[in-house]
Structure 1
């Protein structure tokens, strides 16, 4: 399943790659079109392949809303037993789907693929990890200098053949069985974008659904976007920073439980320093940040997209 919005050239590559797979490896390709305005709808309508299905949404619901709508459609209309998730600029490498079918898969377990940039380097934004708040040794490694490397899988895991338990994965290269989806429901569409996949992964783990990282499930992500750890200075347009900050706080609440209240406010204050990257737009950045933090601390997700955009105007 592919969620797309105004990235037709990337979508063409992804759809072609998927349809190269044999029918016994991929029964259907569902493209969720998030109200694209770049000719995506016409291009999809012109495809002639019985395996290609299109769900056209009337408005842009972001990645979270697109995945929620697509998963529901795949289960109810396509009778999917497994759903592989990806963005429009991401696709399985040749042989990845064959690798999924090459071994017996536990239908109560989700599987996360190894995502790399086209250069072959590990895609940081899709690097899976463990929840440090649920694993004392991982928390200790994180706090004593490891940082993100303390809880995320290292390069050796990508080069290995062993499957590894994880708690946090992305919606690029995630293979979901319908039993797992039924255990926790759909992704939260109100999250719109950023962190919705990690939050969903944490929900899966809370419901005792196992998630295994499988390095044989190789995916390519041809993205140029926000890089984790580099702050909101990389966020354009500015309104997207609202979702980054708000969803980060919601994610940390899921991961940390009561411990969230010890460090959540500190992190929120630290993020405000990113205003220095915005020059004359710093007042607008602080307005976006303030609303995001208030909503994130309260767990509120009711702000509409037009209202979020207005914050940055």
Structure 2
């Protein structure tokens, strides 16, 4: 006997906003409610004044607002949002960035995939992930299986195919769906039993790689994350800093975005690497050595010694466990780069 289909009304959407992003946020809320979500939890990370009034004027009580007087970053924001969602009656939680608009049928597709994959039998160890065409979503299990011998995603074995791709002889790898080891916040749907089992996101990560840490926590515990390519999300804000805009990761690290963004991203990735690598083997040590030699060569060629110094300091803080908000890189309260 086929199980009864799950309803989008069983889903609480959680999103985190900051600054002056109402024109984006209202699209996210509208789409979520149009998709039949039972409710929407909006976490106000010190956004521009008037957000509560705007929400009340346009939406009903299905939308709840959690206000923070300071910007807690995506990590603290989603931790607070998930905690608040657990006080609502919904069985499922779907996380969205404040520029992630659900395409028609997205929630229904995620729930259908959840059922088809037999996940109702293991709600505390299961999640599904929507597809975002504008982003390279975490690769397949096969693509991620070398993670423990790579260093910050760099592996000497990848140099050959990346060179061929740069020369135009091979297309970039595309995720074809199936299971993934980790994934972004945007489009992640799971049963409320997941955070009750593995806990909330680490607020001390503040910003960047907090989603990787949390989703790896799930899969490391024996859980599954399945990418649903039929569940589409549209990123309505195209002003992000995608790595695809740069020829390689080294140029991206040295020239991309702001110092604040790079500090948190590199610090948290270094901390995560340190926590997961255990006693590094020969291959990982080789990858680490090559990574820093190549990065230093690029820094010299590009004239970016200050950014190289920042990355080294971020690595030291991450590997030393110095997390939380850095006094040197405070998060803006409004109209700045944050979550």
TM range (shorter): 0.7 to 0.9
Gaps of 5+ in 2: 1-13, 166-171, 244-248, 332-339
- The residue number in structure 2 matching 1:161 is none
Q: Larger relative CO (CA 8 A, sep 6+): 1 or 2?
A: 2
> Max radius of gyration: which structure?
2
Q: TM-score, normalised by structure 1?
A: 0.79
Distance 1:298 1:213, change over 3 A: same
For 2:211 and 2:292, the matched residues in 1 are separated by: 21
Shift of 1:180: 1.9
For 1:235 and 1:65, the matched residues in 2 are separated by: 24
Please tell me whether the aligned partners of residues 129 and 187 of structure 2 are also in contact (alpha carbons under 8 angstroms): yes
What is the aligned counterpart of 1:226 among 241, 258, 263? Answer: 241
- The residue number in structure 1 matching 2:203 is 189
Q: Does 1:236 align with 2:257?
A: yes
1:50-65 matches, within 5 Å, as 50-65=61-76
What is the aligned counterpart of 2:88 among 78, 87, 102? Answer: 78
Please tell me whether the aligned partners of residues 110 and 189 of structure 2 are also in contact (alpha carbons under 8 angstroms): no
Count of residue correspondences: 288
- The residue number in structure 1 matching 2:227 is 213
Q: TM-score, normalised by structure 2?
A: 0.73
Q: Does 1:167 align with 2:178?
A: no
1:107-126 matches, within 5 Å, as 107=123, 108-117=125-134, 123-124=135-136, 126=137
Please tell me whether the aligned partners of residues 18 and 29 of structure 1 are also in contact (alpha carbons under 8 angstroms): yes
Cα deviation 1:224-270 (Å, max 9, x = unaligned): 22223352355433222111111121233355443386244653564
Please tell me whether the aligned partners of residues 8 and 40 of structure 1 are also in contact (alpha carbons under 8 angstroms): yes
Distance 1:215 1:254, change over 3 A: farther
Moved more, 81-90 or 221-230: 221-230
Q: Does 1:16 align with 2:30?
A: yes
For 2:102 and 2:293, the matched residues in 1 are separated by: 39
Please tell me whether the aligned partners of residues 272 and 289 of structure 1 are also in contact (alpha carbons under 8 angstroms): no
Gaps of 5+ in 1: 118-122, 159-163
Please tell me whether the aligned partners of residues 86 and 173 of structure 1 are also in contact (alpha carbons under 8 angstroms): yes
